[in-house]
Structure 1
């Protein structure tokens, strides 16, 4: 139980920092909590950042190596206690909490560019066992953006029965793709494109389904397209 493995290592683009998970020697324990650390390669100092699920998709360096975005929080489900957090190199290796009370964050992704903004999914925290959710704990999640300076703002919207996931930034940084699920229709949805200069997204592919994944974490980011007969 005391033995831990270094997994999912990610270098900062400038090579000055190495981020990774410390994976405990227990399948049950690792499903709920893994230590997140970075090493400053210039002075070989280990810096603890928190604990989280061992998903490489949930921690990522900004293109300019200034920040590491990661999801902090114990517990194996993705519907509670998951908080967007930033390790800010330019602010003296400071840990910045970018979460919002009562909300859950997942899947951060940086837009390309030096002055980069961060895209992520945010929605209300829910109790998977609560009857008031009528068995659906994935409602009302949307794509948000946190600029380099300032507060995060929501980029997509819709009724509470719609949820947006799996944001994929466009290479030129002008927009992003995402999956929109209509949860009142047996979790069928569409792939949309949202331009940062437009007010509404454009539907590209209709009839897409998504596996709810390991404890509802929507991983890995894959879709299944169903052809109408």
Structure 2
């Protein structure tokens, strides 16, 4: 009888794991990843290598999942675009560019070169890049894909630094100032606030608020940046908190005006990093990180539940092999009920959770700091399976990894 129960239990586990795998292979999402510095994809359950020996980083899917953008080259990184259906490769610009972003509605990619914002329409015959605006420190597409929110860079005056300026710029501005509108002037330098540039613009679900980081000087920004909010019409500005220069560490809830973020100054990720939630229009924030712990990457599961990568606090002076490694925790932001949902093996940690809303599945990266795999589970973290083996581990900075440099997921 015991043998029968064990056998049935084993069959059930195998069935559940196969269910997870089969649903993941059912066109519900595509994943691009970097392995041995080359670009790979996994689509319909099959892995495919797209480049060979080209040193690839930063894969990003187009809005329809038909194109991939990435940079290649170790010394000089050039932007390249890859079309999945036929393997066509396009180089939109023959110099090193920064901050490339796909339009949220069309197959148009934007990028910055020496302070000028450009666009490139990939499906257009004999396409060439187009100039949009000069004087650009950073930018983001508006959710409708028709214009950009642009930040200028601040200027140093005898009295100190000015603040960065925010502008609305039409997609087809072509350097025409009549297609650009001033939105807001960030405050000048004072006390502990300095905004040389605004970065990482993100719109609230109702598109009435925009969150971003006010970024100071390079040395200062390594330790602290100011998370800010501005009304979409420029009528109100608010400084929220201090945090690291990581635009993936603040995210809006899927449908409500609730902003979650990782608060805490200091470049060492093992210290003073706390998950906080701010619900607009309330002024206060609530903290959800227990004493003695730090929180890192996170994802919203719904408007109440957050899944976060959490580790015990530790000192950077500790040897790397003895530093704490994270697990994934589920946090209810309404009741503050929290529980651990993954238990990685000894000397491994769970990072970079991604919740797939359509398939109701959880993806994350499990790593020992030297190698990494992609894991997949049910929405509650149960019935986990290793889905992709051996992806590259990005360079780290004081125990903070930018996993977006080696993985990109597109939900269909």
**TM bin (shorter chain):** 0.7 to 0.9
- Corresponding residue for 1:177? 363
For residue 163 of structure 1, report the CA deviation from its aligned partner: 0.3
- Corresponding residue for 1:227? none
- Corresponding residue for 1:13? 205
For residue 197 of structure 1, report the CA deviation from its aligned partner: 5.1
Gap runs ≥5 in structure 1? 225-229
1:121 matched to 2:288? The reply is: no
1:78 matched to 2:262? The reply is: no
1:165 matched to 2:348? The reply is: no
For residue 56 of structure 1, report the CA deviation from its aligned partner: 0.9
1:60 matched to 2:60? The reply is: no
For residue 120 of structure 1, report the CA deviation from its aligned partner: 1.3
For residue 28 of structure 1, report the CA deviation from its aligned partner: 0.4
For residue 47 of structure 1, report the CA deviation from its aligned partner: 2.4
For residue 138 of structure 1, report the CA deviation from its aligned partner: 4.7
1:95 matched to 2:285? The reply is: yes
State the TM-score, normalizing by the size of structure 2.
0.48
Question: Equivalent residue of 1:69, what SS?
Answer: strand
Tell me the distance in 1 between the aligned counterparts of 2:322 and 2:245: 22
Q: Mark the CA change 1:137 to 1:58 in structure 2 (over 3 Å): closer, same or farther.
A: farther
Tell me the distance in 1 between the aligned counterparts of 2:354 and 2:258: 19
RMSD: 2.3
**1:153 aligns with one of 335, 339, 349:** 339
Question: Equivalent residue of 1:32, what SS?
Answer: coil
Q: Which has the larger radius of gyration?
A: 2
For residue 160 of structure 1, report the CA deviation from its aligned partner: 4.1
For residue 123 of structure 1, report the CA deviation from its aligned partner: 0.4
- Corresponding residue for 2:226? 35
- In 1, are the aligned partners of 2:201 and 2:210 still within 8 Å (CA)? yes
Question: Equivalent residue of 1:54, what SS?
Answer: coil
State the TM-score, normalizing by the size of structure 1.
0.83
Gap runs ≥5 in structure 2? 1-160, 162-188, 408-412
1:110 matched to 2:295? The reply is: no
Question: Equivalent residue of 1:129, what SS?
Answer: coil
Q: Mark the CA change 1:43 to 1:65 in structure 2 (over 3 Å): closer, same or farther.
A: farther
User: How many residue pairs end up in the alignment?
Assistant: 214
For residue 216 of structure 1, report the CA deviation from its aligned partner: 2.2
**1:47 aligns with one of 210, 235, 238:** 238
Tell me the distance in 1 between the aligned counterparts of 2:399 and 2:380: 32
For residue 147 of structure 1, report the CA deviation from its aligned partner: 2.4
For residue 199 of structure 1, report the CA deviation from its aligned partner: 2.8
Tell me the distance in 2 between the aligned counterparts of 1:14 and 1:51: 25
- In 2, are the aligned partners of 1:138 and 1:163 still within 8 Å (CA)? no
Tell me the distance in 1 between the aligned counterparts of 2:359 and 2:331: 14
